[in-house]
Amino acid sequence: MEKFLIVGTFIAFLLASGFYSMRKTKNLGDFFLGGREIGPWMSAFAYGTTYFSAVIFVGYAGKIGWSFGLAGLWIGIGNAVIGSYLAWKVLAGPIREMTEKLGVMTMPELLHKRYESHGLKIFAAFIIFIFLVPYSASVFMGLSYIFEIVFNISYNYILIFMAVITAAVLLMGGYRAVALADFIQGIVMLFGIVVLLYYVFSHPAVGGIGQVIPRLHNINPEFVNPLPAGEKGFALLSLVLLTSLGPWGLPQMVQKFYAINDKKKIKAATLVCTLFSLVIGVGAYGVGSLSHLFFTELPVDAATGKATVDLLMPQIIQTALPEAAALLILLLVLSASMSTLSSLVLISSSSLTIDLLKGYIKRDMDKKEELFTMRLFCFIFITLSVLLALTKPTIILTLMGLSWGTVAGTFLGPFLWGLFWPKTTRMGAWAGALGGLFTSLFYAFAHNFSASYVAIGGTLAMAASLITVPLVSLMTEQFSEEHLKKIYAE
């Protein structure tokens, strides 16, 4: 009964934040960007909690630890240095300034204004909506796996319940409610990861920090090799780049830079977000790297009868932690997932409401119609994600990797080059977007959507996008000086 009471209290807080924020949500700008009035601490925690979801604690950390051992820690370090510190340092100021100058709220709108291309805007909107559905489904799956083990309640019931809570909080208060909840959720995540590390390293299977390397070495010397060679090393590098550089091109991540209330406060947000990401990333992958100390073979999903890496982390938590501590980790995963889900839903719904419907079909919508439509598409997106998650497609890592890699590969080149290089052309942007999209999908298809190859395909897609944009731009028609002054002039 105590478990239900604690989780119920936490969910009540989330609902209260949604209800409180609803009073300040008067128009589409309030709903999607919090009126651009979000402070540095809330912005930093919003970015960090969106970055790390149930996928890292259920699918990614377990899979990486099982495959690479201690070398998997490089992913957590890369997430903190490249995915957080450099992202805020390089992108936050220019993005905040350009989006405000151009009066845009979404990635498709930004690409439209920068490249004067309605086609690119429509293309980007569809890519976001289509590929973020499986990403959202993977987060729902990870969250439901954890709840199923801790509460012994059916996966399907938990999935639907979590969807209802996510919809309620988001539909009431939009991004303002999400950012408010993220601040508290971030604190829960930090405290939870410290507790997780304490109990896991104290468990007899691990025997303390000093026993980790010798025990892993006895199982397989490769598990303590900091830099794997050959194909394995390339696969690890691909995962580091995919999860660390990928956020630079993900709409749900860069949206956090649009909403910060003061450009001068970016420095503080950078520091907070980097420290948060370092603790969460290294902590999660650190626990995952110990999976071979707890298991001699992969656990089997009773529902499917198949061995899966998705159950490694949930069962480590169940084995190593007392009930009270396991409940805290449940809140940690719930916190991370609710934030990520809310951001995914907001971004995907905006692609239809702001970029397509309001942009081309019904341009004269008043404020009430805009808000209603945005909330309607939020509900539709959540419903589609739940329906996909109910089928339990393949494994979580494949779902997340394919979505992440394809979206990042499509947008990274056109977005980054367009932000900093005036000579980027419309044809260059199209070439980068299509090159990234087809590279990711073709590589994944050619390798039967294997999780490892999906990650490599996403990394190659980002590289293709970044390389193709400037090459094609140098050979195609440049924009007029008048247009570029609107974009880059102080």
Alpha helices in 103-247 (DSSP H): 107-115, 118-151, 155-202, 212-219, 230-245
DSSP for 18-87? Answer: HHHHHTT--SHHHHHHGGG-B-HHHHHHHHHHHHS-HHIIIIIHHHHHHHHGGGGHHHHHHIIIIIIIIH
* Cα–Cα distance measured from residue 367 to residue 176, given in angstroms and rounded to the nearest whole number: 17
In the prediction, which pLDDT does 470 show?
Answer: 96
Q: Count Cβ atoms below 10 Å from residue 151 Cβ, excluding itself.
A: 15
Look at residues 341, 361, 363, 399 and name the one whose alpha carbon lies nearest to residue 162: 341
* Cα–Cα distance measured from residue 119 to residue 108, given in angstroms and rounded to the nearest whole number: 10
In the prediction, which pLDDT does 74 show?
Answer: 94
Q: Give the residue carrying structure tokens 């070398």.
A: 71
- Average pLDDT of the chain to the nearest whole number: 81
* Cα–Cα distance measured from residue 297 to residue 312, given in angstroms and rounded to the nearest whole number: 10
Task: Answer for the pair 52, 281: CB distance below 8 angstroms, yes or no.
Answer: yes
pLDDT at 433 over 90: yes
Give pTM, 2 decimals.
0.82
In the prediction, which pLDDT does 38 show?
Answer: 62
* Percent residues over pLDDT 90 in the chain: 18
In the predicted model, what is the mean pLDDT of residues 163-172?
77
In the predicted model, what is the mean pLDDT of residues 304-332?
79
Q: For residue range 104-131, list pLDDT tens digits in order.
A: 877 888 898 899 988 898 898 888 888 8
* Cα–Cα distance measured from residue 388 to residue 160, given in angstroms and rounded to the nearest whole number: 12
Structural domains for the chain? 36-393 (1.20.1730.10)
Q: For residue range 7-36, list pLDDT tens digits in order.
A: 777 777 777 766 666 666 565 555 655 555
Q: Count Cβ atoms below 10 Å from residue 383 Cβ, excluding itself.
A: 12
Instruction: List all residues 6 or more positions away from 373 whose beta carbon is below 8 Å from its beta carbon.
Output: 353, 357, 358, 365
Instruction: Enumerate helices (H) and strands (E) in the chain, giving the number of each.
Output: 23, 2
* Cα–Cα distance measured from residue 228 to residue 143, given in angstroms and rounded to the nearest whole number: 31
Task: Answer for the pair 155, 148: CB distance below 8 angstroms, yes or no.
Answer: yes
* Cα–Cα distance measured from residue 77 to residue 278, given in angstroms and rounded to the nearest whole number: 6
pLDDT at 479 over 90: no
SS3 (DSSP) at 331: helix
Look at residues 1, 2, 16, 49 and name the one whose alpha carbon lies nearest to residue 188: 49
In the prediction, which pLDDT does 473 show?
Answer: 95
* Percent residues over pLDDT 70 in the chain: 82
- Among 10-24, 42-56, 278-292, 304-318, name the one with the lowest average pLDDT: 10-24
Angle at 356 between CA 351 and CA 357, to 5 degrees: 110
- Per-residue tokens: 320: 């190593």
